[in-house]
Chains A and B, each alone.
Chain A
Amino acid sequence: GAVVSQHPSWVICKSGTSVKIECRSLDFQATTMFWYRQFPKQSLMLMATSNEGSKATYEQGVEKDKFLINHASLTLSTLTVTSAHPEDSSFYICSARRGARTNEKLFFGSGTQLSVL
């Protein structure tokens, strides 16, 4: 089956620093990747949609200058949380879609727990 690898699994950082999270599709080319955030006891909330070689599309309320998304190849997307603050502490998870149809199933990474001190 298709595998999506996400690193790191958890990260602790100081307030004001930047953190990069990687999402790789290991055995397929992902036309589209998605980044989600989940706060405790809440649903997965879509942050942004990224397509290889183009700018990410951010959801309303998500600061694009704070959450930088790069999708430089068909197998790698990165999310950089810039100048992280304690309120950015959350669980971040990526997913990838293999084909172009919007009703295709998604393949998920295992998530990153970010704690900002």
Chain B
Amino acid sequence: ILNVEQSPQSLHVQEGDSTNFTCSFPSSNFYALHWYRWETAKSPEALFVMTLNGDEKKKGRISATLNTKEGYSYLYIKGSQPEDSATYLCARNKAAGNKLTFGGGTRVLVKP
């Protein structure tokens, strides 16, 4: 994989259901993987920064895992709530570089 890719582009979730989606990235020269939540008309907000293979991080009902060898990260939302509706962005730091390369985002809509 050459770029940071996120799938699906969008998904609808029923309130109370759990969901997950994927960020795929080049595994070579990996330094860090970021997840951001971006609500409409607001600023993107950092969720996690992950650096080590096998990392798992959790913030409330949201958690993320990281596999640097195969180049993917999963974001999980447990018991989705309407306030979880947002676009979730992942971004990869290349080794020893400033640049963050972003994926296209997964737009999540939680239906009451």
In the bound complex, do residue B44 and residue A108 qualify as a contact, i.e. CB atoms below 8 Å apart? yes
In the bound complex, do residue A46 and residue B100 qualify as a contact, i.e. CB atoms below 8 Å apart? yes
Contact with A along B26-70 (1 / 0, CB 8 A): 000001101010000111111001010000000000000000000
Cα of A103 to Cα of B104 in the assembled complex, Å: 20
* B21 CB to nearest chain A CB (Å): 15
From B11-19, B74-82, B91-99, give the one contacting chain A. B91-99
Give the interface residue-count category, chain B.
20 to 34
* A61 CB to nearest chain B CB (Å): 14
User: In this assembly, does B25 line the interface, its C-beta being within 8 Å of a C-beta of chain A?
Assistant: no
Partner of B31, one of A103, A105, A106: A103
In the bound complex, do residue A102 and residue B31 qualify as a contact, i.e. CB atoms below 8 Å apart? yes
In the bound complex, do residue B105 and residue A105 qualify as a contact, i.e. CB atoms below 8 Å apart? no
Cα of A92 to Cα of B45 in the assembled complex, Å: 16
- The interface of chain B, by Cβ under 8 A from chain A, is 4, 31-32, 34, 36, 41-46, 49, 51, 89, 91, 93, 96-105
- The interface of chain A, by Cβ under 8 A from chain B, is 4, 6, 32, 34, 36, 41-46, 49, 57, 59, 93, 95, 102-111
**For the complex of A and B, 9 pairs with smallest distance between CB atoms:** A105-B46, A103-B32, A44-B102, A108-B43, A108-B44, A110-B43, A43-B102, A43-B104, A105-B49
